[in-house]
Structure 1
Amino acid sequence: MSGVPPRRMVPAYLVTGGRTRPSRTAFDRLTVLHSASPEPPDELDPEHRSLWALLRDGALTLVEAAAHLRLPVSATNFLAADLVDAGRLQARAPVPRAQQIDRALVERLLVGLRTLR
């Protein structure tokens, strides 16, 4: 069974510390998280420290971080909210979907550019 990842020692629901809601409004699954401090957090438990270490060198969405940590997105949301509150992570809203461009406007722009030649 070499292809089977090892089982988590701590059940995912314990990551929340018995809370039913994160300290802040829940993040969107595509919220971008990145480290806000260069120093590792000493006072945090192992799950918080793992999330911070994962984001130390770059940014990931909440759902990507959850996959790397092998935790449910809802549990990772608690960890991220705690770290944002502690000033160890920063969260950025997901990039909005691009809106449909008005084709008539683009055609007028192309005509105008062609007349400049």
Structure 2
Amino acid sequence: MMPPEDPAQEPWGEETATHSPFEDRYLDEHAGPMVRPYVMTSGRIEPTRGSFDLITLVVAAGPEPEGAIGLGPEHVAIIRLCQSVMSVAEITGHLDLPVATVRVMLGDLLDKGFVSMQEPEPEADMHDIRLYKAVIDGLRAL
């Protein structure tokens, strides 16, 4: 490639006005522009409310809102998915986003009252001898 004769001209010629080599790394004709997950959460890595385990169940509190201020397309997609009960792991899989990002967005939706959640039940007390006796009695009954 010959250097441009006009010093004001960009080194990559006319291509820079419409397309640069830098864009090739971040654009795909099928996927469109890429948005980093931390942009979706404004840089937050923890939800403002709730601790969302992978097995936490989430359900929308109502129908998908029309033009809700402060909600991104991913928030709306979560509300749409959660019209029936869904776990955090399932939501993450459907959206193809990192778990941390989905947790932050779920916290936002919980704060605004768009979703409700059910934490997993704590494990039974494994030191309770009655539990072991009940299991043994159940096995003997078989």
Same fold (TM over 0.5): yes
Helix, strand or coil at the partner of 1:33: strand
Per the TM alignment, residue 92 of structure 1 is displaced from its structure 2 partner at its CA by: 0.6
Residues 37 and 88, structure 1, Cα contact 8 Å, conserved in 2: yes
Structure 1 54/102 Cα, relative in aligned 2: closer, same or farther at 3 Å? same
- Equivalent residue number for residue 63 of structure 1: 89
Query: Does residue 106 of structure 2 align to residue 80 of structure 1?
Result: yes
1:22 is aligned, of 37, 47, 54, to 47
Letter in 2 for 1:15: M
Residues 31 and 94, structure 1, Cα contact 8 Å, conserved in 2: yes
Deviates more, 1:23-32 or 1:70-79: 23-32
- Equivalent residue number for residue 137 of structure 2: 107
Q: Which structure exhibits the higher relative contact order, with contacts defined as CA atoms closer than 8 Å and separated by 6 or more residues?
A: 1
Per the TM alignment, residue 7 of structure 1 is displaced from its structure 2 partner at its CA by: 7.4
Higher Cα Rg: structure 1 or 2? 2
Using structure 2 for the length normalisation, give the TM-score. 0.61
Q: Percent of counterpart pairs with the same letter?
A: 32
Count how many residue pairs are aligned between Structure 1 and Structure 2.
105
Deviation track 1:53-110 (CA, whole Å, cap 9, x = no partner) reads: 1111x111111111110001100001100001110000110144466733367639x8
